[in-house]
Amino acid sequence: MEFNVRQVPERRVAGFHMVGPWEKTVHQGFEQLSLWVKTHNIVGEEWLAVYYDNPDVVPAEKLRCDTVVSVAENFTVPDNSEGVITTRIEAGQYAVARARVDDGDFARPWNLFFNSLLADSRYQMAPKPCFEHYLNDGSESGVWEIDMYIPVIL
């Protein structure tokens, strides 16, 4: 899988922290996020999923992720936003790859990306979360375009 490495700016994000199998919690988290964004008229510039754990090491029931939207620096969480967190995605060097998911299998492009990155001796993965940026809303069509980000050390 082709990728490039670039400096990525810090992002302030707001949304939901989820724990459990990603194939369940990411979908659930985005349902909650979508409802929250609509209910409170939140302008989210980017829709993102942030992954904190390695699913080859951490049991599925303990996998952590955030389903979030990027927000302005001065954003404050509205009243009646139970469970909403604000946090940051660190700036830094990231390997970035684009993928199209049309079969619901988001793990497949991630696995291809990790394998490509591991095969490239110029880069080492940094101990920070990975994340994906959704470039479209594929909830109707079932086709998603995503950019995947893996933090690296040069």
On whether the CB atoms of residues 96 and 87 are closer than 8 A, the answer is no
Nearest to 91 by CA among 2, 12, 1: 12
| Token pair recorded at residue 23 | 């194939």
pLDDT of residue 110: 97
Closest CA to 151 of 93, 111, 87: 93
Q: What pLDDT sits at residue 33?
A: 97
pLDDT of residue 43: 86
Query: Domain limits of the chain?
Result: 4-153
Annotation: CATH topology of 4-153: Multidrug-efflux Transporter 1 Regulator Bmrr; Chain A (3.20.80)
Confidence (pLDDT) at 11: 97
Tell me the mean pLDDT per 10 residues along the chain, length 154. 97 98 95 96 94 96 98 96 97 98 93 96 96 94 96 94
Whole-Å CA distances, 54 to 12, 51, 80, 92, 119: 23, 8, 33, 20, 18
Predicted confidence at residue 114, as pLDDT, reads 97
